[in-house]
């Protein structure tokens, strides 16, 4: 009776409530969560909860052990408030979910400084096919490590990562040549965004 009576539910800006509801959804997935998308309400605590939900206990007469069965393949989050969600917290989640195939991480309009911790974690994702970083600090060396460590990468969008300077980095451009869709920051000589389309490279 109650279910049929609910037509509209407005959560407003209660981020803690939204986190609590997300945890309920994670629990109901039964360890089989494959896609997670969240915005301002996402916190380090929630990311840790998602990562730990992949832990499956096993016991027998011979031994008791814990192992991970990570099913998460897609994650998209908006990191506009570092007091709630940190890049370090996101990096820790990627370590717990080695089967990730698609990552979208946005700095929420803020420019984040380069964080090697994030690059090192992403570079370990051998199944990663699509990576989008928006307003996230990443250096040339860190991006090179990511491209080298993710052999299945098909889409790489870092066109708003302003710490990158790829014009004279032949090694990085060579490693990126195999990526089907590549979006890099504009050249320093450009006064505005421009589009340059090639068979394997797209620069915005």
Residue predicted with more confidence, 4 or 74: 74
State residue 162's pLDDT score: 79
pLDDT in tens, 4-20: 444 444 445 688 888 99
What is the chain's mean pLDDT, rounded? 78
State residue 203's pLDDT score: 46
pTM (2 decimals)?
0.79
State residue 114's pLDDT score: 56
Residues in the chain, total = 204
State residue 112's pLDDT score: 57
Mean pLDDT to the nearest integer, 19-35: 88
| Lookup: tokens for 92 | 């820790």
Residue by residue, DSSP assigns the chain as -HHHH------TT-HHHHHHHHHHHHHHTTT---EEEE-TT--HHHHHHHHHTTEEEEE-SS-EEEEE-----EEEEE---TTT--HHHHHHHHHH-TT--EEEEE-TT--PPP-HHHHHHHTT-TT--EEEEES----HHHHHHHHHH-TT--EEE-TT-TT---TT-HHHHHHHTT-SEEE-PPPTT-SS---EE-SS-EE-
Mean pLDDT to the nearest integer, 74-96: 86
131: left (phi over 0), alpha (psi -120 to 50) or beta: beta
State residue 131's pLDDT score: 98
Angle of helix 87-96 versus helix 44-52 axis, rounded to 10: 0
Mean pLDDT to the nearest integer, 47-65: 59
Q: Are the C-beta atoms of residues 42 and 75 closer than 8 Å to each other?
A: no
pLDDT in tens, 91-137: 999 999 999 999 999 876 555 555 688 899 999 999 999 999 988 88
| Lookup: tokens for 123 | 């570079």
pLDDT in tens, 177-194: 999 999 988 765 554 444
pLDDT at 81 over 50: yes
Distance CA 70, CA 56 (A): 9
Give the strand pairing for 155-157 and 181-183: parallel
pLDDT at 196 over 90: no
């Amino acid at each position: 009776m109650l279910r049929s009576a609910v037509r509209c539910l407005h959560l407003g800006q209660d981020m803690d409530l939204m986190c609590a509801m997300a945890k309920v959804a994670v629990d109901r997935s039964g360890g089989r969560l494959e896609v997670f998308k969240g915005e301002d309400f996402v916190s380090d605590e929630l990311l840790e909860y998602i990562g730990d939900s992949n832990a499956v206990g096993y016991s027998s007469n011979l031994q008791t052990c814990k192992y991970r069965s990570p099913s998460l393949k897609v994650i998209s989050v908006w990191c506009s408030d570092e007091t709630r969600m940190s890049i370090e917290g996101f990096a820790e989640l990627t370590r717990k979910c080695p089967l990730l195939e698609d990552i979208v991480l946005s700095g929420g309009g803020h420019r984040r400084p380069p964080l090697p911790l994030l690059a090192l974690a992403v570079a370990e994702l051998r199944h990663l096919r699509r990576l989008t970083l928006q307003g996230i600090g990443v250096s040339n060396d860190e991006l090179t490590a990511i491209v080298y460590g993710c052999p299945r990468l098909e889409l790489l969008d870092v066109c708003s990562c302003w710490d990158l300077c790829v014009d004279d980095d032949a090694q990085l451009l060579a490693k990126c040549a195999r990526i089907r869709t590549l979006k890099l920051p504009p050249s320093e000589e450009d006064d505005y965004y421009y589009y340059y389309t090639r068979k394997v490279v797209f620069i915005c």
